[in-house]
Structure 1
């Protein structure tokens, strides 16, 4: 979701709030090390064999014939050429920055709306009116389309590796566009802004969050979704989900709903995704803690036991109000579960929902091909504010590695390594969820520590680790306690605090892992207070930036980190790292800000979504920015990646107050980018975040999600479309009404070629 810098993405929310008060070193204080910036942009990686994500191209079902939203500077005319020109990666003309309420793509490309908030997923669900009166939300597309994956469909509705014209698109629905308590665009009058919330409003909002699967196909030259497909599905806050892995059946998971601690309901605030080597969908639960309410006297009600420390570490202090007030919807169980206070008299929590929050914050696995299979939360991968989950390149006979980030200020980067070695026969198993049990329920969870010399270590988070077993801040009972409270375990072993790790992805050309570190408003040359940190070699920028009349301070524009594993591959305990790309404004006055030397066709702020194309090797970078949105809407860029260590050393010098000696920093910056190695490919509508990337196996259709266009509109204006900050996609000819809607677009090349060429 769009946010200013790294503050809460929505002012009333608790997203991205720093709850880490451990004394561990910050990434900014760790290193005197190498950083290379534009390695992502370097190299000529072409096709890659290992698929890291799926994608489809689609076109709108039920939309008009005028739903083409491409607004390229030179729209193409005429018919598709019979013979495409020779392919050149990044051969398109870069898109300029834009403040238009439109999706802008390069000349020679077409972007078409496919699937938007409220679209029906069954034949019996009425068409979406988009006036706040629509019902049956458990059978409609949810809100805030986010991460997604494409799963090709065979003729028998099973997995396929080479089908490019039919598939299932699995998608996250992260949140809603809010003011105060209400998701106002989906309520007729803007919704109720005070407590208690009406049950009907709460039910609608709970259904808007979660996941969807939708069948898509190419029909002639256009893509469409099938609203009556048996493969369509909504997963929402009443959907039963199994607890799997070390925490299954543990005392920490006991609730009134599941007195044996083996199940829960719903998946919440889903952001990034992953695709397993056995063709299932992984979804990360990100900023979930803010949905829960705690009473002002709950610490004492719990006897000030260790659960109080755990709740505070995950952002729930006593007295914290919930994001939407769902717990006030009524006395029914579906509402009361959002009250995380101790209300019952039982010792184990079986008569209330004091432990309910322990069932949120995981990587969730779902089989997109089979609705009869259980959905499972894979607790072995740890509990935190998950973004995406990226698999290292599978190697027969070696364990699988999964890389993850915790998206809050001063949180950590993690790796999970399976106990089971990869067997190639498991790429097409009879039971895909059972295969997930094999690889994702039993393994080792690690956290990263970054050293000043450009090296790093993976530290195992095990209850047998002496630092964890003897940790004074929290007494861990067992391994389930470690994974449920992974943040506390990472504190105990001295992991490196990072600047909001968002999405991660693996370069198919060389297996290096990329992490988006979106920004940090708490960087200062001379820090004041424990929440601020000085710049250092790995986080060398601390500067002021103007947005209109407002001054922004810190590492305003973010950067991207990359990691190269040691010789042992997935099981390596050591790695090397650098920072290969810094976001910045091209016109930044100081060279210490625009360290990557970005041009007007390349500059960006706050990298978030990140994925490599398996077909072309292009690295797609998406932004969720609030710092540069006075100049341009959020965007997506295409880069050609290099490798760790391909840069040069640069020395920066910052003046300090009161005559103190300058702060001198050495850092490493990658090879200079050229127009052939980094280009802006897309700019979105007003108020939107660009998020979610998926492609067909041949790379000729690319899905991109446009999240929360129109954010910044006041709820009081919900009845006056002229006051909306955006009317997209209705202004592109898609659907009824004028209220803005999150939506999925599909991008195709007019000559039939691969995207990004």
Structure 2
């Protein structure tokens, strides 16, 4: 059966029709300035990180199940992240009452210290380091020396596979924690998974995406260091709608829709907050279904608008005639977190959910101003039904009518013409306070927010939030707070009020990448943004206020001449260097033809995709930046391309620019996350997790997650590549490429089940439990013929409808996951 088409697009669109110049058309760009800057940057980075950043580590094929356990008195060599155990029986045979004392090397926190055993996680080191322990046992004194080498990707790479399970390396275990429909209350019935289930306001939603773990102590209060109890906050981006109803949806293409189906679909979007516990402290996690913290935030949940757009005419609707309140959040994709304990969820491809009639005279176009039409076109709000035709639902109700964005009344207070302006924001949620209302932070701009990841919290410096706009030829943004960071705010109990302080006042910037490897942050500030030029028959757009610029951030970025990118997605901040990474999933010949490449988006080639071909940049790449002066409030930066996706089996060197091989090749990078600095995997040389959302490589393997130990901006070199289009025409393009991928710095860690996307990753503070999202397995199947049976297949059952879910991954030996 063919996949049900709803009109939904997962960012694979291009609404940017601006005739912006490519970088190659910009005059007087030279490489010499870049080379001078990079020379000093390399020196400072080596001094800051240590020479081990540049050194290649051998892949010793270490099985993580064999974390070293030795008798006291024996010596052992290990690597960062391993669990080291010293047993009381000494080499001299003495047993009995034992005392362990560390007498040399950097002090390590102990996991156990009993009369029979001592254990600890090997610390993060930049060079080989010795730890010395004295053991007093039965009157005999022994000494044990533990030699610790720097972090390595010690696991064996997972092979590419098309199997219908989550595959992890030898020595690791993956366990299903949650799945679509799981109840959040004790009174909600168990999920039958046959399409008859209801009440998704009290169930885990569909298409789980980005997630984050928030710790709780035994008393149920916030505890950022808790490894055994916490709240898992997860986005729910979209639907595998064919599996939500007994035989698929009714009239989903155009309506009318039954109310029972529509409310189920609406409530399956949004955000889940669930309590999870490791009751026995052995990394065996379960959901607490009767927790008072459990809740759903759906498109129907009341929310407040904050920041410069609050109370303006842009947000006036029949529901909120003063423009201060809204309802819910939708198409929540990537995320972010705050340093004061709140969650930042992001509204991505929200535009297609709204209905408009815009085909000719007498339609909604006739009731709109030229300015409104320009804005609506720029954001792709042009569907005649909406993705799921919710506004056609019978019987009618206001929570269905809101998805009809036509101007049908006498004014904006009589209809929902402005309802699209209530979506496209970053939304702050306090997971610790179930009674709190989410707040939409309008100072961070309105676009297709893929994520909102913070920089570093440095007392006295302003905070920064980095954001991608996930569509072809869209932009890379950052927000810089007006207030400098005060460390005392990290522990305040009025968390959303802290958000008011840092997220409601500040400056939104958009990135311009120069051909010489430098860049500028261009301020989106009223009075500094020129008119957006006319495009074809579309007139110029004249900005009327700061609120106008924030609501129409894409138009303002056009006007400033920002660099259109190859689908900007997740951002991640290296907790040691402060460098920011941005995934660029892909582009095609329509979005960026051969003549449209530039230094930051440099590839154009023809790739085999299943039985056909695709031209453009179908495998994507990852850009990283280093802020000027290592100050995240800077208005200049340096950049290079960290990795290029490629199929190592058939890609020539001009395409496989990062030198990928069968153990680390990938396509369409999407999710991106650095390990927490609270544990050794986020220290010295932090571990990076990379997830894929690929359609060009899936004849080779299901989507995957890789582990990496990246270097720093400028660790590679300038390179000129030869691009080729489908007609065989070639063109040279200069760019900057990071150090090549090797078995020591990039390796495949996980492959997901059939037709899934791997998206969402976080860990407990100690790094010994990893949470990973599995989105839309079997997305191309039908209720009658599912094309995946996951998560049932994880337990060996090849039946049942597929469900999005979260897996818990642990290392059998007890060490830090990934090292």
Scaled to the shorter chain, the TM-score interval is 0.7 to 0.9
Number of the residue aligned with 2:331: 269
1:625-664 deviations in whole A, cap 9, x for unaligned? 000000000000000011111112333234689998x522
Structure 1 residue 163 and structure 2 residue 230: aligned?
no
Q: Give the C-alpha shift of residue 396 in structure 1.
A: 0.8
Q: Which moved more, 1:155-164 or 1:532-541?
A: 532-541
SS at match of 2:214: strand
What is the deviation of 1:564?
Answer: 0.6
Q: CA 1:197–1:9 in 2, change beyond 3 Å: closer, same or farther?
A: closer
**Partner SS, residue 374 of structure 2:** helix
Q: 1:44 to 1:175 in 2, by over 3 A?
A: farther
Q: Are 1:313 and 2:378 matched, yes or no?
A: yes
Q: Does 1:190 align with 2:254?
A: no
Q: 2:306 & 2:798 partners in 1: Cα distance?
A: 42
The whole-number CA distance in structure 2 between the counterparts of 1:667 and 1:466 is 29
Cα distance in 1, alignment partners of residues 333 and 725 from structure 2: 40
RMSD: 2.9
* 1:140-151 mapped onto 2 (5 Å cutoff): 140-151=203-214
Matched, 1:641 2:717: no
CA distance in 2, matches of 1:205, 1:249: 30
The two structures have a TM-score, normalised by structure 2, of 0.81
Aligned residue for 1:68?
none
Counterpart position of 1:515: 582
1:527-553 CA-partner distances (Å, limit 9, x unpaired): 4xxxx7533433332211112321111
Given candidates 750, 763, 771, the residue that maps to 1:703 is 771
The TM-score with structure 1 as length reference comes to 0.88
Within the candidate set 672, 676, 680, 2:744 is matched to 676
User: Gapped runs of 5+ residues in structure 2?
Assistant: 51-60, 71-81, 85-121, 123-147
Quote the Cα distance in structure 2 between the aligned partners of 1:425 and 1:588: 54
Q: Where does residue 67 of structure 1 map in the other structure?
A: none
Name the CA distance, whole Å, in 2 between partners of 1:624 and 1:466. 35
Q: Which moved more, 1:89-98 or 1:8-17?
A: 8-17
1:745 matched to 2:807: yes
Does 1:324 find its partner at 2:382? no
The Cα shift of 1:736 comes to: 12
Q: Would the alpha carbon gap of residues 111 and 709 (structure 1) be closer, same or farther in structure 2, given more than 3 Å must change? A: same
C-alpha distance in structure 1 between counterparts of 2:62 and 2:193, whole Å: 32
- Please name the residue that 1:342 is paired with: 407
Is the deviation greater in 597-606 or in 538-547? Answer: 538-547
**Partners of 2:200 and 2:724 in 1: how far apart?**
56
- Matched residues in 2 for 1:425 and 1:388: separation? 26
Query: Relative to structure 1, is the Cα distance of residues 146 and 450 closer, same or farther in structure 2, using a 3 angstrom cutoff?
Result: same
Kindly indicate whether residue 413 of structure 2 is the aligned counterpart of residue 360 of structure 1: no
SS in 2 for 1:387: coil
Other-structure match for 2:269 = 209
- CA gap of 1:648–1:244, structure 2 versus 1, over 3 A, is same
- The secondary structure found in structure 1 opposite 2:771 is strand
Residue range with higher mean Cα deviation, 296-305 or 451-460: 296-305
Say if 2:643 is the partner of 1:574. Answer: no
Describe how 1:554-565 pairs up with structure 2 within 5 A: 554-565=616-627
Aligned to 2:103: none
Q: Secondary structure at the match of 1:704?
A: strand
- Assess if the C-alpha contact under 8 Å between 1:45 and 1:618 holds in 2: no
Name the SS of the counterpart of 2:640 in structure 1: strand
2:369 is matched with 304
SS in 2 for 1:191: coil
Count of residues in Structure 1 that have an aligned counterpart in Structure 2: 702
Structure 1, 723-732 or 97-106: larger mean CA deviation: 723-732
Give 1:605's aligned residue: 667
* 8 Å Cα contact 1:9-1:16 kept in structure 2: no
Matched with 1:686 is 754
Q: CA deviation at 1:130?
A: 0.5
Of the three residues 499, 522, 525, the one matched with 2:566 is 499
Contact 1:130-1:738 within 8 A present in 2 as well: yes
Map residues 297-696 of structure 1 onto 2, 5 A cutoff.
297-317=362-382, 320-330=384-394, 331-346=396-411, 349-468=412-531, 473-522=540-589, 527=593, 533-567=595-629, 569-614=631-676, 615=679, 616=681, 617-654=686-723, 663-696=731-764
Q: Could you say which structure has the greater relative contact order, defined with CA pairs below 8 angstroms and 6 or more residues apart? A: 1
Task: State the Cα distance separating 1:388 from its structure 2 match.
Answer: 1.2
1:258-310, CA deviations, whole angstroms, 9 ceiling, x for partnerless residues?
00100111100000011101010000100000000002344444243411111
Tell me, yes or no, if the aligned pair for 1:455 and 1:574 is still in contact at 8 Å.
yes
8 Å CA contact retained: 1:726, 1:740: yes
Q: Using the alignment, how far apart are the partners of 1:648 and 1:14 within structure 2?
A: 34
Cα deviation digits, residues 707-730 of structure 1 (max 9, x gap): 0000111x3xx13xxx32110001
What are the ranges of 5 or more consecutive residues in structure 1 without an aligned counterpart? 48-72, 178-182
Distance 2:763 2:569 in 1: 21
Structure-2 separation of matches of 1:274 and 1:225: 23
Higher CA-based Rg? 2
- Deviation of 1:81 after TM superposition, in Å, equals 6.6
- Against the structure 1 CA distance between its residues 742 and 507, is the aligned structure 2 distance closer, same or farther, given a 3 Å change threshold? same
Contact 1:129 1:737 survives alignment (8 Å): no
Question: 1:24: how far off?
Answer: 1.9
Q: Is the 8 A contact 1:578 1:645 kept in 2?
A: yes
Distance 2:590 2:262 in 1: 39
CA distance in 2, matches of 1:170, 1:657: 44
Q: 1:521: Cα distance to partner? A: 1.3
2 CA distance for matches of 1:272 and 1:167?
Answer: 20
Distance in 2, matches of 1:584 and 1:197, equals 43
Residue 13 of structure 1 and its aligned partner are, at CA, apart by 3.5
Shift of 1:665: 2.7
Q: SS at the partner of 1:505?
A: strand
Question: How far did 1:372 drift?
Answer: 1.6
C-alpha distance in 2 between matches for 1:214 and 1:74: 35
